Amino acid sequence: MLNKILPAPFLSLFLLVFWLLLQNTISAGLLILGVILAILIPLYTNRGRDFPATIYRPFKVVEYFVLLLIDILISNLNIAAIILMPSRKIKPALIEFPLDIVGEVPITVLASTISLTPGTITAEIRRDGRALLIHALNVHDPDKLIQSIKQRYEMRLKEIFKC
Amino acid sequence: MTQLPSWAEWLVSSLIIIGALFALVGSIGLARLPDFMARLHAPTKSTTLGVGGVILGSIVYFSVSSTFSFHELLITIFLFLTAPISAHLLAKAGLHLELRRVENTRDLRSQPRQYSDEDD
Amino acid sequence: MLTFAVQFAFVIFCIALLLNLWRLFRGPDLPDRILALDTIYINSLALLALFGIWHSTPFYFEAALLIAMLGFIGTVAAAKFLLRGDIIE
């Protein structure tokens, strides 16, 4: 029963929070309207979402997000150092990142994470979907970079999505 | 501007200035890095953090000076969701057009054809 | 203090916008120009947020949100056009 009304509980929660943030006030009327919208919109768009993903460990998501924020801060400082370096000796590389996780949503999250942490950008996905092409701004040891991404992000995503 | 208590004033000022400096570093990177793929790194991230700093400052400012205000956070969330997508599309376009890369770029692709976007 | 900080940030963002403009005119390739435009909209977003602080009104927020959405769609459309030579297939 609950599954029928709320096909995507996290999407509904996100929509409700988004609505309240957009209104910037909390009142009973707005809250009720927000709940109605948060139930109706996922129901209406349910047929269009053909990429099902289940989050098994919601608390791990929070941990992942905090880790991501800290990493963004630290590596932004690194990037700033590289940019302001007087010499132009940078060592860019196009790296192939073999994927261990499967599924569209986990791979998308991983690719976005790689793009958000400065110094690396996801450029392409291989045609068979088993590897990402990463452009790194300044890297000395590509294998170490791949290992660190695997340990920091991919393992956690594997636990969150169980894939 | 409204007069704030001094702790809030310091907090807002430092957040704004840190954000502005990050945005400036991103723009300097855009101006002086050697090739397109390297230039792509600087603005897509530093500016996200730069705008994030300014937005956080604005949240603190409005929350302290008038009522509790949180909706500026939407802009940050939106930028965090969209920055990887636009970076990805631009990188794809850069690879597709085969732009000149600096000569010490190492290409570690085992089968470069597997990444091309052509339907052949 | 805050007045000085906001003025300082205005100056910094204007320098950043000038650097972006330089990249926009200089090129050398189309993706560089799109990237410069992308950076320009993000920087002007921050400038609008600063303007909101300066005038102490929350009304610039809506404008900033609109710029964020339209700028993102513009970047995606331009990049897609470079990739495929077509925006909507």
The Cα angle at residue B110 between residues A135 and A102, in degrees rounded to 5: 70
DSSP codes, C59-88: THHHHHHHHHHHHHHHHHHHHHHHHHS-S-
Which of B40, B107, B115 faces A121 most closely, judged by CB atoms? B40
Span B7-33, pLDDT tens digits: 888 888 999 999 999 889 888 888 888
**DSSP code for B104:** T
Tokens, residue C88 = 């909507």
CA distance B43 to A36: 39
Which of A23, A121, A142 faces B41 most closely, judged by CB atoms? A121
CB distance A163 to A101 below 8 Å: yes
Residues A93 and A44 in one domain: no
| Torsion region of A103: left, alpha or beta (phi above 0 gives left; psi -120 to 50 gives alpha) | left
Main-chain dihedrals φ then ψ at residue A94, nearest 5 degrees? -100, 115
Q: Where are the beta strands (DSSP E) in chain B?
A: 106-107
Indicate whether C4 pLDDT > 90: no
Indicate whether C84 pLDDT > 90: no
Say how many CB pairs under 8 Å bridge B and C.
Answer: 164
DSSP codes, chain A: -HHHH-S-HHHHHHHHHHHHHHH----HHHHHHHHHHHHHHHHHTGGG-------S-HHHHHHHHHHHHHHHHHHHHHHHHHHH-SS-----EEEEEE----SHHHHHHHHHHHHHSTTEEEEEE-TTSSEEEEEESS-S-HHHHHHHHIIIIIHHHHHHHT-
Residues A75 and A97 in one domain: yes
Residues A41 and A76 in one domain: no
| B76 interfaces chain C, CB cutoff of 8 Å | no
Chain B: nearest CA to A1, how far in angstroms?
A: 32
Range of the domain at A73: 58-161
CB distance B101 to A135 below 8 Å: no
Chain B 92-111, residues with CB within 8 Å of chain C CB atoms: 92-94, 96-97, 99
Better-predicted residue by pLDDT, A2 or A67: A67
Q: In chain A, what residues touch B110 (CB-CB under 8 Å)?
A: 96
Indicate whether C11 pLDDT > 90: yes
Q: For residues C39-46, give the mean pLDDT.
A: 89
Inter-chain contact B102–A90, Cβ cutoff 8 Å? yes
How far lies A150's CA from each of A101, A153, B33, in Å? 10, 6, 28
Residue B120 is predicted with a pLDDT of 40
What pLDDT band is residue B113 in, cutting at 50, 70 and 90? Answer: low
- Closest A-chain CA to B28: A83
CATH 3.40.449 fits C1-84, yes or no: no
Span A5-40, pLDDT tens digits: 777 777 888 888 888 888 877 788 888 998 888 888
Report yes or no on A53 lying in a domain: no
Which helix H or strand E contains C11, and what residues bound it? helix C2-26
CB distance A104 to A51 below 8 Å: yes
Q: What is the mean pLDDT of chain A?
A: 81
| B23 interfaces chain C, CB cutoff of 8 Å | yes
- How many residues are listed for chain A in this entry? 163
Domain ranges of chain B: 6-99
Inter-chain contact A121–B87, Cβ cutoff 8 Å? yes
Which of B26, B48, B86 faces C75 most closely, judged by CB atoms? B86
CA distance A42 to B13: 41
Residues A27 and A102 in one domain: no
Q: For residues C29-57, give the mean pLDDT.
A: 88
- Asked whether this complex has an ipTM greater than 0.90, the answer is no
Report yes or no on A101 lying in a domain: yes
- Quote the pTM value: 0.85
CB distance A120 to A126 below 8 Å: no
Peptide bond into A118 cis (omega under 30): no
Residue C21 is predicted with a pLDDT of 92
Q: For residues C53-71, give the mean pLDDT.
A: 87
Nearest to B105 by CA among B34, B25, B43: B34
One-letter amino acid of A55: I
Span B32-84, pLDDT tens digits: 887 888 888 877 777 778 888 899 998 888 888 877 777 888 888 888 888 88
Inter-chain contact B85–C76, Cβ cutoff 8 Å? yes
Residue B67 is predicted with a pLDDT of 75
Q: How many structural domains are present in chain A?
A: 2
CA distance B25 to B17: 12
Which of B35, B73, B104 faces A91 most closely, judged by CB atoms? B104
Q: In what order do the strands lie in the sheet with A93-98?
A: A120-125, A131-136, A93-98, B106-107
Lowest pLDDT segment from A52-61, A119-128, B111-120, C35-44:
B111-120
| C50 interfaces chain B, CB cutoff of 8 Å | yes
Residue C83 is predicted with a pLDDT of 81
